[in-house]
Amino acid sequence: MTELTIHCDPLTHLPWQERPAGCSDVLWRYANNPIVSARAIAASTYVHNSAVIAFGSGFAGVFRIDNRSRRMQLHAGRSDDGIRWKIDECPIRFQCDDPEIGRFTYGYDPRLVRLDDRYYVMWCNGYHGPTIGLGYTHDFSRFCQLENALLPFNRNGVLFPRKFRDNYFLLSRPSDSGHTPFGEIYLSQSPDLTYWGKHRHVMSPIKEENGWQSTKIGAGPVPIETSEGWLLIYHGVVTTCNGFIYSAGAALLDLDEPWKVIARCDPYLLTPTEQYECVGNVQNVIFPCAALVDGPSGRLALYYGSADTVIALAFGRIPEIVDFVLKNRIR
């Protein structure tokens, strides 16, 4: 392939560990996983499926905390190195102009993206069922909540990191009220983050027996813009005799019309094999939610929830991942 251009700012201080000797995997795990434990704060039972982003000279995050009443809450956190985190003991209290929308009942599986001077938070928000909550912050201390993006029932809302012809683009996975026979990724457009339309189908599960993405799929971290297309890391699920297994894969989407898939990998990038991925609140889960990228070097730090219990970290290089997708695409 031609030399790849990655449209991301320099981030030389992102957490990093070189590929271990003898390892040929496209993604490799941090040797000291997990990086955030289930009892990271006094109120937590589990900490997983969380979002991080570069902020100032360090990093900030919005963390899914399942508290000791088993309620799903969002907490802010900060880190100097992206590995050791200080998470606020108290949940985020979103400020909202409309009390109907601001009645926070639960929140989980957040993502983060910077657009202009705001850091936008997307999460699965409880409003008569799961839907896509939207909010923003400037400082990770005060958070403002916007209108829910879409009707219930919906999960895995992920904003693109720039506008397209003055429109915001959002990926999501429409669902039902349960856990869930739906499993396709769609794209929606909005001029103002309030009114959404022009919905487009992006990808479906691959309906083959025992395939790692045969039951459902959902967008993971914010898409990464490259000269070969938008790199989307996503989760795929297979139903086995022992329940669901969540793995991570990748696809390339068209730069101008990102509901069009250029290529999608047949093999997974990462699947549960380690104890902290296989044993926990929900066994056999790798759930990618955030990625830090150093544009000039192409280095990637991928944050993922493990077994719905803890947070782990993996590393890779964007050119290698793109090459892997193109060489191992579904035919």
Written as tens digits, the pLDDT of the chain (331 aa) is 558 999 999 999 999 999 999 999 999 999 999 999 999 999 999 999 999 999 999 999 999 999 999 999 999 999 999 999 999 999 999 999 999 999 999 999 999 999 989 999 999 999 999 999 999 999 999 999 999 999 999 999 999 999 999 999 999 999 988 777 789 999 999 999 999 999 999 999 998 888 999 999 999 999 999 999 999 999 999 999 999 999 999 999 999 999 999 999 999 999 999 999 999 999 999 999 999 999 999 999 999 999 999 999 999 999 999 999 999 999 8
**pLDDT tens readout for residues 154-205:** 999 999 999 999 999 999 999 988 777 789 999 999 999 999 999 999 999 9
Q: Which phi and psi (to 5°) does residue 243 adopt?
A: 105, -165
Quick check: 303 and 288 in contact, CB under 8 A? yes
HEC profile for the chain? CCCCCECCCCCCCCCCCCCCCCCCCCCEECCCCCCECCCCCCCEEEEEEEEEEEECCEEEEEEEEEECCCCEEEEEEEECCCCCCEECCCCCCCECCCCCCCCCCCEEEEEEEEECCEEEEEEEEECCCEEEEEEEECCCCCEEECCCCCCCCEEEEEECCCCECCEEEEEEEECCCCCCCCCCEEEEEECCCCCCEEEEEEECCCCCCCCCCCCEEEECCCCEEECCEEEEEEEEEEEECCEEEEEEEEEEECCCCCCCEEEEECCCCECCCCHHHHCCCCCCEEEEEEEEEECCCCEEEEEEEECCCEEEEEEEEHHHHHHHHHHCECC
Quick check: 159 and 170 in contact, CB under 8 A? yes
Give percent of the chain with pLDDT exceeding 90.
94
CA dist 120 and 111 (Å) reads 8
- The amino acid sitting at 250 is A
Residue 296 confidence (pLDDT) = 97
CA dist 241 → 17, 128, 237, 244 (Å):
36, 32, 13, 9
> Which CATH number is associated with domain 28-327?
2.115.10.20
Domain boundary assignment for the chain: 28-327
